[in-house]
Chain A
Amino acid sequence: MTVAKPQVTINDEYEKLYGFHVPEHSVFKAEAGLDEQKVRQISGMKGEPAWMLDLRLKGYRAFLAKPMPVWANTALLNSIKFADIYYYLKPTEKPGASWDEVPAEIKETFDRLGIPEAERKFLAGVSAQYESESVYHSMREDLQKQGVIFLDMDTGLKEHPEIIKRYFGTVIPPADNKFAALNTATWSGGSFIYVPKGVKVSMPLQAYFRINAKNMGQFERTLIIADEGSEVTYFEGCTAPSYSSDSLHSAVVELIAMPHAKLRYVTIQNWSKNVYNLVTKRAIAQEGATVQWLDGNLGSKLTMKYPGVYLMGPGAHGEVLSVAFANSGQHQDAGAKMIHAAPDTSSVITSKSISKGTGRTSYRGLVKVYPGAANAKSTVRCDALLLNEESRSDTYPTMEIDEKQVHIGHEATVSKIGDEQLFYAMSRGLTEQEAMSMIVNGFIEPFVKELPLEYSVELNRLVQLEMEGAVG
């Protein structure tokens, strides 16, 4: 007699773990759709200085003026219904400094996502954003004493307007691209971090972004400044309920690593499969600084994300390590940009993508070396793994090298999970499902081993979930 295997699909599992929603909680919700009045309203409610409103309006105009990108998945992009999106939903009056100050159903959501528990175990600071605003914020006292600033962006603007004014929009200008423009117009929440000279923050600072409402647009804005010789790791996670209608997440993240600073930005993106995730992430690395983007994309309907590092000072180093997992109905269009604008700069791009079912992954990358960036070194490696016949992967690498004395390497592979690998593992006693999961986990190992332990466990678990039902 055979025992039927429990039929659990990824969607059921996502539903249970992350896809749940609680009744909407808001102290203010702007009407759906966007116009100039709404941009003014958001800025006014936040009590912002005039220069920020000007910046928002500049962003709004650029958003209207810029056409939708034509080089990407236009069918999906053109199905975004901008008029149906809620651009601003304020869930509470102000962020709580302890979880007790957070409204019960919102706190319960973050409890279910394990955030307070993670905070107790291994985090130096936590910010939790719900819809448009941060609802919880806290950082260890010793870091505060060392002068580390970790605030939600709105509070940051209130408390440190001079720093924000100086750096906001300098890495990613308002009119950089259509979605960065939209973010500039409508931004709310996100993190502002400043790490003073020489301060090394040993435990990660974490932000968690949660969308709960239907047709929500979340536009967080993050600025991280690592001053000379400082070190910091920032982690962001994100989930949303599974709704049949779409939500839009369009973040802008600007990183500035001053001379000899080390900045590491880790993302594990796990939006539900009705979220458009169109974000702009870019860093500046000054002399001898290192910026590392670790970018894991598992969720969303369409992700377009190409974290970049502008290597502006001699000896600066940039890295993008990314993993994309596209299941049926998903398109992960991810990549990296490395701009070498100084001598002796180096960059490494490692992209790993997995496509399953009808899922689609694209790697889009740019390596640019300006004249005078002598001895620039860049290594690009993209590996795509297809789990079945219908899945798809494309690679669009671009190299613009205007300097003679350089070392550039590019390697790309596309492979299917081999019958021989499966047979080998199965001959040792692994079921087909276990064998597939193991091969996939091995494939992303170069990424996972770079993650702090807690996140690598989390990532492996998420990949495991995606692998459910991989065997027909």
Chain B
Amino acid sequence: MTNPSLLIVRDLHVSVEGKAILKGVNLTVNAGEVHALMGPNGSGKSTLSFCLMGHPKYHVTSGQILYLGQDMAALPPNERAAAGIFLAFQYPTAIPGVTIANFLRAALRGVRGQDVPVKEFRQIVKANLNALGIAESFMSRYVNDGFSGGEKKRLEILQMAVLAPQLAVLDETDSGLDIDALKTVAEGINALRAPERGLLLITHYQRILNYLTPDVVHVLVNGRVARSGGPELAHELEAKGYETFRDQETVTPVAS
């Protein structure tokens, strides 16, 4: 293999405000693959996603995040974004007074490292709005300000589509959506599947996987990947719940 993997998470230990949350996560995502990371509440799923994006509150105490072979430790979030990483937030933040149009244009400029001509920007936006079935008036609303849960998730997908990252991490993008919104979001994600792109789908439920078939499924329990497998693992989880993995996790000797 000549090309480095898109993402290698190596024995990652992370603490938040002094409390250890991730306790040795190992994960490899190659270009063209869709991975689902599943786990119960409090298992560290969101911590991993924030950590991949470089949230200052999450401290990597040991281990590595390698993106295209490069250690991400020293990079602030915006440089990770420019390198091609995107995080769809579970709880997107409102920025009152800032229109989606202005926000997205600044984002695209940041990611590309240069200004994007207005005309080109409009074309990119228009194509993506159409594909996601979002009205153009959406662009003049303020970022996540007074949005419903579904609108927030749609905006995350729109941003992802416009910024066209190489590695997209989607943190519970499926949670809190009704079935129609879930379908739209899943379609948006499916549309982004590409040979050069990797997706890491973090989810609590198997539900979204009915619309999106992952190549690899990981089960995160108590800060570690307890098991990895094919799509069938998700169904097993659905049937048995996380309990069996919890037991398994407690008896597995610490690998590090």
* Segment of B86-94, B174-182, B223-231 in the binding face: B86-94
CB of A441 closer than 8 Å to a CB of B: yes
- Let me know if A420 and B78 touch, CB within 8 A: no
- Let me know if A445 and B107 touch, CB within 8 A: no
- Let me know if B53 and A427 touch, CB within 8 A: yes
In the complex, what distance in Å separates the CA atom of A425 from the CA atom of B102? 12
On chain B, the number of residues with a Cβ less than 8 Å from chain A's Cβ atoms is 33
CB of A399 closer than 8 Å to a CB of B: no
In chain B, residues 142-175, which have Cβ atoms closer than 8 Å to a Cβ of chain A? 142-143, 159, 163
CB neighbours of A423 from chain B (8 A): 53, 55-56, 77, 93
- Let me know if A432 and B76 touch, CB within 8 A: yes
CB of A438 closer than 8 Å to a CB of B: yes
In chain A, residues 383-435, which have Cβ atoms closer than 8 Å to a Cβ of chain B? 418-421, 423-432, 434-435
Q: Bits for A427-470, please: 1 = Cβ < 8 Å to B, else 0.
A: 11111101100110111111000000000000000000000000
- Let me know if A424 and B97 touch, CB within 8 A: no
- Let me know if B95 and A424 touch, CB within 8 A: yes
Q: Give A447's nearest chain B residue, CB to CB.
A: B97
- Let me know if B81 and A426 touch, CB within 8 A: yes
- Evaluate whether A429 and B82 lie within 8 angstroms (CB atoms) in the complex, with A419-B57, A424-B89, A434-B110 already known: yes
Q: Give B85's nearest chain A residue, CB to CB.
A: A427
Select which of A418, A421, A430 is within 8 A of B110 by beta carbon.
A430
- Let me know if A428 and B159 touch, CB within 8 A: yes
In the complex, what distance in Å separates the CA atom of A308 from the CA atom of B89? 45
CB neighbours of A426 from chain B (8 A): 76-78, 81
In the complex, what distance in Å separates the CA atom of A435 from the CA atom of B159? 16
Interface size on A, as a range, is: 20 to 34
- Let me know if B142 and A442 touch, CB within 8 A: yes
Interface of chain A: mostly helix, strand, loop or mixed = helix
- Let me know if A419 and B56 touch, CB within 8 A: yes
Q: Give B55's nearest chain A residue, CB to CB.
A: A423
In the complex, what distance in Å separates the CA atom of A421 from the CA atom of B95? 7
In the complex, what distance in Å separates the CA atom of A423 from the CA atom of B76? 10
Q: Give A446's nearest chain B residue, CB to CB.
A: B97
In the complex, what distance in Å separates the CA atom of A443 from the CA atom of B107? 19
- Let me know if A424 and B78 touch, CB within 8 A: no
Q: Give B78's nearest chain A residue, CB to CB.
A: A426
In the complex, what distance in Å separates the CA atom of A427 from the CA atom of B142? 18
CB of B212 closer than 8 Å to a CB of A: no
Q: Give B89's nearest chain A residue, CB to CB.
A: A424
Expressed in whole angstroms, the minimum distance between the Cβ of B164 and any Cβ of chain A is 12
- Let me know if A442 and B95 touch, CB within 8 A: yes
- Let me know if A420 and B81 touch, CB within 8 A: no
- Let me know if A439 and B77 touch, CB within 8 A: no
CB neighbours of A446 from chain B (8 A): 97
Expressed in whole angstroms, the minimum distance between the Cβ of A340 and any Cβ of chain B is 29
CB neighbours of A420 from chain B (8 A): 93
Select which of B54, B98, B110 is within 8 A of A442 by beta carbon.
B98
CB neighbours of A431 from chain B (8 A): 76, 78, 110
In the complex, what distance in Å separates the CA atom of A425 from the CA atom of B163? 13
Expressed in whole angstroms, the minimum distance between the Cβ of A436 and any Cβ of chain B is 11
- Let me know if B93 and A442 touch, CB within 8 A: no
B54, B57, B98, B142: which has the most chain A beta carbons within 10 Å? B98
- Let me know if A424 and B93 touch, CB within 8 A: yes
CB neighbours of A438 from chain B (8 A): 95, 98, 102-103, 106
- Let me know if A427 and B77 touch, CB within 8 A: yes
CB neighbours of B82 from chain A (8 A): 429
CB of B96 closer than 8 Å to a CB of A: yes
CB neighbours of A427 from chain B (8 A): 53-54, 77-78, 80-81, 86-87, 89
- Let me know if B98 and A439 touch, CB within 8 A: yes
- Let me know if B92 and A424 touch, CB within 8 A: yes
- Let me know if A421 and B106 touch, CB within 8 A: no
- Evaluate whether A425 and B95 lie within 8 angstroms (CB atoms) in the complex, with A419-B56, A430-B107, A438-B106 already known: yes
Expressed in whole angstroms, the minimum distance between the Cβ of A183 and any Cβ of chain B is 36
Expressed in whole angstroms, the minimum distance between the Cβ of A323 and any Cβ of chain B is 12
Select which of A419, A428, A445 is within 8 A of B103 by beta carbon.
A428
CB neighbours of A421 from chain B (8 A): 93-95
- Let me know if B107 and A442 touch, CB within 8 A: no
CB neighbours of A434 from chain B (8 A): 106, 110
In the complex, what distance in Å separates the CA atom of A420 from the CA atom of B93? 7
- Evaluate whether A429 and B53 lie within 8 angstroms (CB atoms) in the complex, with A424-B92, A434-B106, A443-B97 already known: no
CB neighbours of B163 from chain A (8 A): 428-429
CB of B111 closer than 8 Å to a CB of A: yes
Q: Bits for A183-225, please: 1 = Cβ < 8 Å to B, else 0.
A: 0000000000000000000000000000000000000000000
- Let me know if A430 and B78 touch, CB within 8 A: yes
In the complex, what distance in Å separates the CA atom of A424 from the CA atom of B106? 13
Q: Bits for B43-57, please: 1 = Cβ < 8 Å to A, else 0.
A: 000000000011111
CB of B217 closer than 8 Å to a CB of A: no
Q: Bits for B97-123, please: 1 = Cβ < 8 Å to A, else 0.
A: 110001100111111000000000000
Q: Give B104's nearest chain A residue, CB to CB.
A: A428
- Let me know if A445 and B93 touch, CB within 8 A: no
CB neighbours of B56 from chain A (8 A): 419, 423
In the complex, what distance in Å separates the CA atom of A446 from the CA atom of B109? 25
Select which of B76, B94, B110 is within 8 A of A428 by beta carbon.
B110
In the complex, what distance in Å separates the CA atom of A90 from the CA atom of B94? 53
In the complex, what distance in Å separates the CA atom of A438 from the CA atom of B94? 12
- Let me know if B142 and A429 touch, CB within 8 A: no
Expressed in whole angstroms, the minimum distance between the Cβ of A429 and any Cβ of chain B is 3
Which B residues have a C-beta under 8 Å from some C-beta of A?
53-57, 76-78, 80-82, 86-87, 89, 92-98, 102-103, 106-111, 142-143, 159, 163
Pairs across A and B, CB under 8 Å, 27 listed? A419-B57, A421-B94, A423-B56, A423-B77, A424-B89, A424-B95, A425-B103, A426-B76, A426-B78, A427-B53, A427-B54, A427-B77, A427-B80, A428-B78, A428-B107, A428-B111, A429-B163, A430-B78, A430-B107, A431-B78, A431-B110, A438-B98, A438-B103, A439-B95, A445-B96, A445-B97, A445-B98
The 5 closest A-B pairs by CB, nearest first: A429-B110, A442-B97, A445-B97, A442-B98, A428-B107
List 12 additional A-B contacts (Cβ < 8 Å) besides A420-B93, A429-B81.
A423-B77, A425-B95, A426-B77, A427-B53, A427-B54, A427-B77, A427-B86, A429-B82, A435-B78, A438-B102, A438-B103, A443-B97
